[in-house]
């Protein structure tokens, strides 16, 4: 069984790096230079604590945090609660609550996938910071 679904996609990881995400991760994304057709790969460097932080990786590698790490980072650094709320059987809302100014949470339209809703939440939180 693959655990790939536990890690944020490469596109989100790239934006998080630009926004300052530099936490220790179990894995990193290994990308390829422009012009190559290889797919990005999820790799480790020998386990947790072994150069999987963005500032320790080369320009073709990006930290691959788990969704939980990203949720914790938003909560601890920006006081944003990023998550998913069940609407009904197999229908989910993405939610983002801003605790720093006590604003009401932002809810999206529903999606049919938990991880799709979580990605929407993370992308919304990225626009807030």
Same domain assignment for residues 24 and 43:
yes
Read off the pLDDT of residues 15-71 as tens digits, 9 standing for 90 and up: 999 999 999 998 999 887 666 667 778 887 665 556 789 999 988 899 999 999 999
pLDDT of residue 109: 65
Q: 45 is in which domain, residue-wise?
A: 4-65
Same domain assignment for residues 41 and 58:
yes
pLDDT of residue 73: 98
Domain count, the chain: 2
**pTM, two decimal places:** 0.86
107 phi, psi to nearest 5 deg: -110, 140
Distance between CA 57 and CA 14 in Å, rounded? 13
Same domain assignment for residues 23 and 58:
yes
Query: Which residues on adjacent β-strands are paired with residue 83?
Result: 95
Among the candidates 37, 65, 93, a domain finishes at: 65
């Amino acid at each position: 069984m693959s655990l790939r679904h536990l890690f944020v996609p490469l596109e989100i990881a790239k934006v998080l790096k630009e926004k300052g995400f530099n936490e220790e991760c179990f894995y990193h994304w290994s990308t390829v230079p422009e012009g190559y057709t290889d797919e990005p790969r999820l790799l480790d460097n020998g386990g947790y604590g072994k150069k999987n932080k963005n500032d320790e990786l080369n320009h073709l590698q990006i930290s691959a945090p788990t969704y939980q790490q990203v949720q914790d980072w938003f909560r601890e650094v920006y006081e944003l609660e990023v998550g998913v709320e069940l609407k009904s059987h197999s229908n989910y809302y993405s939610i983002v609550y801003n605790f720093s100014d006590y604003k009401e949470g932002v809810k999206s339209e529903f999606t049919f996938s938990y991880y799709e809703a979580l990605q929407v939440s993370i992308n919304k939180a990225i626009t807030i910071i």
